[in-house]
Amino acid sequence: MSPYDLLIAPFAEFDFMKRALVGSFALAMGAAPVGVFLMLRRMSLTGDAMAHAILPGAAVGYLVAGLSLPAMTLGGLIAGVTVAVLAGLVARFTALKEDASLAAFYLLSLAVGVMLVSLRGSNVDLLHVLFGTVLALDDATLILLASIASLTLVAMAAIYRPLVLECMDPSFLRSVSSAGTPVHFIFLGLVVLNLVGGFHALGTLLAVGLMMLPAASARLWTQDISVILLISAAMGVVSGYAGLLVSYHLGLPTGPSVISAAGAIYVLSLIFGAEGGFARRFIPIRHLEA
């Protein structure tokens, strides 16, 4: 098999592969930078919890209008924002911490969402909701993914400085500015928005994969936040491309293949990463010598 047949032909010959590639790139460009700040804020598991929190809303949209993009998107957004607000209120007014309240809502949301889809849909519809259909993206979904990525990048550029400050020293930000709370809620909105976009391509179980794995991988190569953001997006793009090729040539499920490619990059980063990788830590590296 020639390099062209191996690496380019699937995207040149099949429109569904082109759409899947564009959708994966859009997801990576928007979700990976959001994942970087989730990681820096020690909220990595929050992303996973929020990914499942959108399921009941998407399921209600499905019950009302079937596999309708606007209905499921709106339902997922409402459910995600609702769970984020409720988790914050529970943490504020009860003895539970935010991670415990999110875990409770995450389990409840997953169970309720699966039951709602099962009321009307088949096992195929349930698999569509849980694992996505990245090879069946239509024009409307691609426009949605591209719009979410564009809005995310613009919004993060606008709140970049207070967002970085809140990650590094939230008490200092509170002492010099009142932007902390609005920035926090804007950021949570971007998290929900990208998870809703990822839901349409990768399903609720895998949507968080392109958000967190590239972010964790990039952190193992540098400590510079701006560079981490660029590397994470690049790794997300490579994961989408490699995962689609593996899925096409080996006949494997596409969504899991994309996330597995991101996982492979993470494992390589764990071993060879310049900032804390195993090889760097255990192999002596010569510094200045006389």
Mean pLDDT of 93-119: 79
Q: Which two tokens stand for residue 153?
A: 């990048």
Q: Which residues of 199-223 are buried (b: 16+ CB within 10 A; e: fewer)?
A: bbbbbbbbbbbbbbbbbbbbbbbee
Residue 171 C-alpha from the chain's centroid: 28
**pLDDT number for residue 229:** 95
Task: Please give the single-letter amino acid code of residue 178.
Answer: S
Q: In CATH, which superfamily holds the domain spanning 3-278?
A: ABC transporter involved in vitamin B12 uptake, BtuC (1.10.3470.10)
**pLDDT tens column, 191-230:** 989 988 888 888 877 888 999 999 999 999 999 999 999 9
Q: Which two tokens stand for residue 281?
A: 């830590």
Calpha distance 46→193 (Å, rounded): 14
pLDDT band of 285, cuts 50, 70, 90: low
CA angle (39, 159, 218) in 5-degree steps: 30
**At 200, phi and psi to the nearest 5?**
-70, -30
User: pLDDT: is 131 or 39 the higher one?
Assistant: 39
| Average pLDDT value over all residues in the chain | 85
**pLDDT tens column, 147-159:** 999 999 999 999 9
User: pLDDT: is 83 or 234 the higher one?
Assistant: 234
244 in Cβ contact with 20 (< 8 Å): yes
Show Cβ contacts of residue 152 under 8 Å, excluding neighbours closer than 6 positions: 30, 31, 33, 34, 190, 193, 194
What are the distances in angstroms from CA 175 to CA 171, 193, 195? Answer: 6, 30, 32
Query: What percent of the chain has pLDDT above 90?
Result: 39
**pLDDT number for residue 10:** 93
User: pLDDT: is 138 or 102 the higher one?
Assistant: 138
**pLDDT number for residue 269:** 94
Asked whether the predicted pLDDT for residue 290 surpasses 60, the reply is no
Mean pLDDT of 32-39: 93
Asked whether the predicted pLDDT for residue 59 surpasses 70, the reply is yes
